[in-house]
């Protein structure tokens, strides 16, 4: 059995407009960025000369449910995440990407992403941040070079701002990728 790995970060909005002028006369216009970053497995960094050898060796999936008023601490210095069907604790040196999805569908079920306090991961927001994720929406951060996760300062807070009470639960899912330059202990997480 072989394990292989690659990571693609994508973010885009595709808008298509069709002008039907009758018969076979249709004009179509499509607008999008077609933005993506592709990383291979490893601990390399982007060469400043433009040679793309940027790599990732940490992959994590987190999910949970937050009741109204409840919050969850996400610590990139000790992130408990699921990978290959097992749970691991990951220690990010650099974060290359994170996407957080608010899976709620009801109005008012807003999930805030914050980096507050002395251990807040403020580098993601250029300040403390208080970014709302509306129902059925996402927050995404990507950094081609990787954002350094400060020792003791790599925490994000996911906060369900809805009041306590039945029906105010928010399910969320988060995927994060990054680098631990010491490599991974292959007894803990198989190396692709």
In sequence order, the β-bridge partners of residue 79 are 90
Q: State the pTM of this model.
A: 0.81
Q: What one-character-per-residue DSSP string does 128-169 give?
A: S-EEEE-TTEEEEEEEEEEEE--TT--EEEEEE-SPSSTT--
Per DSSP, 120 falls in state: B
CA distances from 179 to 82, 90, 130 (A): 16, 10, 25
What is the pLDDT at residue 20? 81
* Nearest alpha carbon to residue 53 among 29, 36, 37: 37
What is the pLDDT at residue 82? 75
pLDDT band at residue 174, thresholds of 50, 70 and 90?
A: very high
- Is the CB of residue 96 less than 8 Å from the CB of residue 8? no
What is the pLDDT at residue 52? 46
CB-based contacts of 128, cutoff 8 Å, min separation 6 = 114, 115, 116, 120, 122
Question: Which domains are assigned to the chain?
Answer: 6-179 (2.60.120.10)
Taking the CA atoms of residue 131, residue 105, residue 60 and residue 157 in that order, the dihedral angle to the nearest 10 degrees is 30
* DSSP H or E run through 92: none
Distance between CA 159 and CA 114 in Å, rounded?
A: 8
Average pLDDT over residues 3-7: 69
* Nearest alpha carbon to residue 191 among 40, 81, 8, 9: 40
Q: How far apart are the first and last CA of the chain?
A: 10
């Amino acid at each position: 059995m072989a394990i292989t790995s690659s990571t693609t970060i994508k973010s885009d909005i595709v808008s298509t407009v069709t002008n039907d002028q009758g018969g076979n006369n249709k004009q179509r216009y499509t607008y999008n960025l077609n933005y993506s970053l592709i990383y291979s497995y490893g601990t390399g960094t982007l060469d400043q000369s433009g040679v793309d050898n940027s790599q990732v060796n940490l992959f994590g999936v987190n999910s949970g449910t937050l009741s109204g008023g409840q919050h969850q601490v996400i610590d990139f210095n000790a992130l408990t995440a699921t990978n290959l069907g097992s749970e691991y604790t990951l220690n990010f040196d650099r974060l290359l990407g994170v996407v957080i999805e608010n899976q709620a569908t009801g109005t008012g079920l807003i999930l805030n992403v914050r980096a507050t306090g002395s251990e807040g991961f403020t580098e993601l927001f250029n300040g403390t941040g208080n970014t709302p994720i509306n129902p059925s929406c996402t927050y995404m951060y990507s950094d081609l070079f990787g954002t350094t996760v400060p020792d003791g300062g790599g925490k994000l807070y996911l906060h369900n701002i809805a009041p306590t009470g039945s029906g105010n639960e928010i399910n969320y899912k988060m995927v994060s990728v990054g680098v631990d330059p010491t490599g991974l202990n292959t007894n803990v997480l198989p190396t692709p």
